[in-house]
Amino acid sequence: MSPAAEKAHDAAVAAGRDFYTDPDTGLMVMTSLYLKNRGYCCGNICRHCPYDRGEQPTKN
């Protein structure tokens, strides 16, 4: 990840946003904040995934 993309991610997380636009590609990227709040890994190797790949949701 480029320094510009890392800065964009950090700014989005600090602002409480779920997504940011990657300045290198123009693509929308989910923040680690959004992924953590989702509560599980979807297995798609998301850039900022805070989970081990393939971690399943916790059942209540």
- Tell me the pLDDT tens digit for each residue of 10-36: 999 999 999 999 999 999 999 999 999
Q: Domain range holding 30?
A: 1-55
Question: How many domains does the chain contain in total?
Answer: 1
Q: How far apart are CA 17 and CA 31, in angstroms?
A: 7
pLDDT digits (tens, 9 = 90+) for 30-53: 999 999 999 999 889 899 999 986
In a domain, 60, yes or no: no
Model-level pTM?
0.80
> Which residues, at least 6 apart from 50, have a Cβ–Cβ distance to it below 8 Å?
32, 35, 36
- Which pLDDT does position 55 carry in this prediction? 57
In a domain, 20, yes or no: yes
